[in-house]
Amino acid sequence: MTLSSKIALALGVLSLLLAVWALLLARSRRKHIRQGRELSAQAQAADSRVQAAEGRTRTEVQNRQAAESRTQELTAREAELVDEVRHLVSDRLPALALHLISSHHPVPGLLHKNLAGSEAAQLLDALPEAVSGIVLKERRRIDAAARAALRGATQESQALSYRLQTNIVGLQHEFSAPPRLTQSLLESDHINEQNLRLTQRSAIVCGGWPGHVRKDTYVSEVVSGASSRLRGFDRINIVSRLGLSNIGVVGRAAEPVAVVCAELMANALEHSRDDLMVDVGLIQTGNGSVCITIDDAGKGMTSEALARGRSLISGEQQEVMLLELGDPPSMGFAAIGRLVADYGLHVSIDTSSPYGGVRAVVSVPENLLTSIDENATPPSVMAPQPAVAPQAHKRPAAADTPAPSPEPSGAAALPQRRRRFSATATNDETAAAPRPLNPEDTGAMWSDFQSGLTGDRSVTDSESTL
């Protein structure tokens, strides 16, 4: 082999080796590139996994924080609800119980105002309303049962008192008793009258009727008979300013008017000292009605008591529960209110009394008034006489003092009450002089007084009375 051949062979082998090396190098480069790409992809995937893990971690942290916040919120809400339930049990329900007794006691609302409008607040507010409804319903049921029982008892007591009254009157008229016995009978009858008034008042408040069947009665006799039912009746000064003496109250309304007047006069006596008089006036108005004014010189009534009294006597409260009348129950104004609603009377009380006390006015409408024949049914001698307009008369010029009024004929005469105001008193006494009584009439004076006590009431038997 020649040198050139060897060189050519060597160069060929070298070229082949270079080609193989280049091929291997290219393959190795491609492998590295592929591995680099794989590593890059793996790195990116790892980065993605890391980012995802970080995201999950952040989400978990946020979820955990949200859960903790929710837990704290629920814990605080639970604490508020517990406080509200405790407030409901310890404060609101006891206050509601006091409010049901007297509306002056307020009922507190929710303790946490942020609960307003929520379902929990609605439930918390619904419970007192439900309790109030249940209590009021049960109270009305119990009160109705109590009224029914009291009404039955008072009606039986009324019937017995009427029978006792009839027996006492019969004893007074059956024989000529000694003065001491007559006085004892009168005192017993007056005590029975006081007891009968209290029983009658209770019956009216409980839905019963006054318990009397009366004929048409003079207004003056109705008022004087009402005053005779009271302890301290001698402190009541009745002055009639009626233009006519034959004005009467129809039978169906005579006893209700007497009850109303008796309760108002009793209130006036109770709220004034024992040495103070209570003035009662009878006035006929221009619209045909008759007004009975009752003025006392007591200490008056508080604004709260006055408002309460006006509410009761207005007749607007159809049903007054016994529990609302106090302990012991004050039934006078409640009885007046029921009679006002049933018979169409009008009663007002205020602090306009000229003596600084309380003035009560009873207005009897024209449809409850009538005219009574004085010849067929003469008025009682104990009833106040209507005032007559004074007539002008001449006085002797040389007279320094008025001449004394003539004494009534006979050995005895009824005492006459003088009015306090001198100007009008002279006219009234001149116009309406005392009526003389014969000595024979002295024994009949107590009978006339008894007629004033009974007020010409015709009492039926126990069945018709009940």
* Alpha-carbon gap, residue 164 to 160, rounded angstroms: 6
What does the H/E/C string look like for 273-313?
CCCCCEEEEEEECCCCCEEEEEEECCCCCCHHHHHHHHHHH
Measured CA to CA in angstroms, residue 195 lies from 32, 150, 256 at distances of: 127, 15, 17
pLDDT of residue 25: 80
Domain of 56, in residue numbers: 43-86
Number of domains comprising the chain: 2
pLDDT of residue 441: 46
Residue 243 lies in a domain: yes
SS3 213: strand
pLDDT of residue 386: 63
Same domain? For 210 and 316 the reply is yes
SS3 346: strand
Residue 238 lies in a domain: yes
pLDDT of residue 411: 34
Residue 305 lies in a domain: yes
Structure tokens at 65: 């924080």
Residue at a domain's end among 71, 86, 101: 86
Structure tokens at 361: 């006015």
Same domain? For 347 and 441 the reply is yes
pTM for the full predicted model = 0.64
pLDDT of residue 203: 87
Same domain? For 81 and 225 the reply is no
How buried is 395 (Cβ within 10 angstroms: 0-12 exposed, 13-18 middle, 19+ buried)?
exposed
Q: Is the dihedral of CA 220, 221, 222, 226 positive or negative?
A: positive
Q: Which residues are paired to 364 by β-bridges? A: 290
SS3 323: helix
Residue 134 lies in a domain: no
- Spell out the per-residue pLDDT of the chain, length 466, in tens: 677 777 777 777 778 777 887 888 888 888 888 888 888 888 888 888 888 888 888 888 889 888 988 888 888 888 888 888 888 888 888 888 888 877 778 888 887 777 777 888 888 888 888 988 998 888 888 888 888 888 888 888 888 888 888 888 888 777 666 788 888 888 888 898 888 888 888 888 888 888 777 889 999 999 999 998 898 888 999 998 888 888 999 999 999 999 999 999 999 998 888 889 999 999 988 888 999 999 999 888 888 888 888 888 887 766 777 777 776 777 888 899 999 998 999 999 988 788 888 999 999 999 999 998 888 888 776 667 666 555 544 444 444 444 443 333 333 333 333 333 333 333 343 334 444 444 344 444 445 544 444 444 443 333 333 3
Same domain? For 333 and 439 the reply is yes
Residue 195 sits in a domain whose CATH number is: 3.30.565.10
* Angle formed by the axes of helices 179-205 and 332-343, nearest 10°: 70
Same domain? For 221 and 329 the reply is yes
Residue 241 lies in a domain: yes
Same domain? For 77 and 154 the reply is no
Cβ distance 245 to 219 under 8 Å?
no
| Residues with Cβ within 8 Å of residue 272, at least 6 apart in sequence | 278, 296, 297, 298, 299, 357
Residue 30 lies in a domain: no
Same domain? For 457 and 331 the reply is yes
Same domain? For 187 and 274 the reply is yes
Residue 460 lies in a domain: yes
* Alpha-carbon gap, residue 63 to 284, rounded angstroms: 90
SS3 81: helix
* Alpha-carbon gap, residue 189 to 191, rounded angstroms: 5
* Alpha-carbon gap, residue 446 to 442, rounded angstroms: 8
Q: How crowded is residue 153: how many other Cβ atoms within 10 Å of its Cβ?
A: 14
Same domain? For 291 and 212 the reply is yes
Same domain? For 158 and 265 the reply is yes
Same domain? For 232 and 379 the reply is yes
How many whole angstroms from its chain centre is CA 256? Answer: 22
Same domain? For 206 and 73 the reply is no
Residue 17 lies in a domain: no
Q: How crowded is residue 151: how many other Cβ atoms within 10 Å of its Cβ?
A: 18
